[in-house]
Structures are given as C-alpha cells and as structure tokens.
Amino acid sequence: MGRLQRELRQNKPFQSEAQEAVLGLLRTADLMRRMITAVVEPHGITMQQFNVLRILRGAGADGLPTLEVADRMIEQTPGVTRLLDRMEAKELVRRQRCPKDRRQHLCWITARGLAVLQKIDAVSQRAADDTLKGLRTKDRETFVRLLDAIRAEHR
C-alpha cells in the first residue's frame, strides 16, 4: 500500500498510476494552498488577491488591463472584476479607464499593496521552500520540468 493510499485511508488500490498521480498532485496542491493561505491571510488578503498584487507589481508603472491580469492568474477566476473591486476598496489596487480603449480598465498596484507584499515576501519565500523541503535541488528541477510538460499538453 502506497503513502497516498494510506493518507486517504483507501483500502482498494487506485485504478491506474495516472489516477494515483492526479490524486497525489491534487492532495499536494491542497497542502501547498493551505500553507500559502496561512501566510497571506494574517495580512488581510486572500491567495487570489496575493496573486493579483504580485502580477501588478511585476507590471510596473504601465499597469495591466483587467483581462491581462485574469490571464496571468495562477488559478483562473471568472470574477476578476469583483476581485479587483474588493481590492480597490481596500486601496491595494487602483483602476482607470484606458484612454485608448474606453472598454478597458487599466490596473496598478498602490503603495499600500506594495507594502503588503513587502511584508509577505520573505515569509512566502520561506513557505515555498518549506513546501518542497522533501525534494533535493535536482529533484525540484525535475519536478518543475514535469509540471511544465503536463501543462504544455493541455494548452
């Protein structure tokens, strides 16, 4: 009996290695999500808001259109406008209509948003390192390459 099978208290074997791999990945992703959530929630933001702040910090002074923010998110969300509304109410981001295309809104991170990220940066890096502490550097490189291969097949 494998480790995942024991964790899930599953008596029957998995139907296939693919099923075991997918369930293992989902279980691991949930663990990682909970660890990162524990880092960001004390700062009054969600994981999705953390993701948006990081995206907008990387965009710099040019900002990004709302749909571009949505496309860059780790977890796709149909309600990105509502997410940005909540973040704007917390003064973490600012938006304005694009002067070239009035249908678009451009988004920027605010000084308050940058301050929140600055508080979280070191702790989130430690949490990321901690989530992969069971893997050696070479194994981490292989892991990243395997994840890339899976996503590439489904684009």
Count, residues in the chain? 155
- Looking at residue 39, its pLDDT comes to 93
| pLDDT tens column, 13-48 | 888 899 989 999 999 899 989 999 999 999 999 999
Residue 67: count other Cβ atoms within 10 Å of its Cβ: 12
State the average pLDDT over residues 59-76. Answer: 92
pTM for this entry: 0.87
State the average pLDDT over residues 65-93. Answer: 93
CA dist., res. 27 & res. 29, Å (int): 6
Q: pLDDT band for 155, please (50, 70, 90 cuts).
A: confident
* CATH architecture, domain defined by 18-153: Orthogonal Bundle (1.10)
**Complete DSSP assignment for 7-71:** HTT--SPPS-HHHHHHHHHHHHHHHHHHHHHHHHGGGT--HHHHHHHHHHHHHGGG-EEHHHHHH
Per-residue pLDDT for 11 more than 90? no
Q: pLDDT band for 115, please (50, 70, 90 cuts).
A: very high
Return the exposure string of 79-89: e unless at least 16 CB atoms fall within 10 Å of the residue's CB, then b. Answer: ebeebbeebee
Mean pLDDT is lowest, of 22-26, 66-70, 98-102, 108-112, for 98-102
Beta bridge partners of 96: 106
Question: Which helix H or strand E contains 128, and what residues bound it?
Answer: helix 111-131
Q: pLDDT band for 104, please (50, 70, 90 cuts).
A: confident
Q: pLDDT band for 101, please (50, 70, 90 cuts).
A: confident
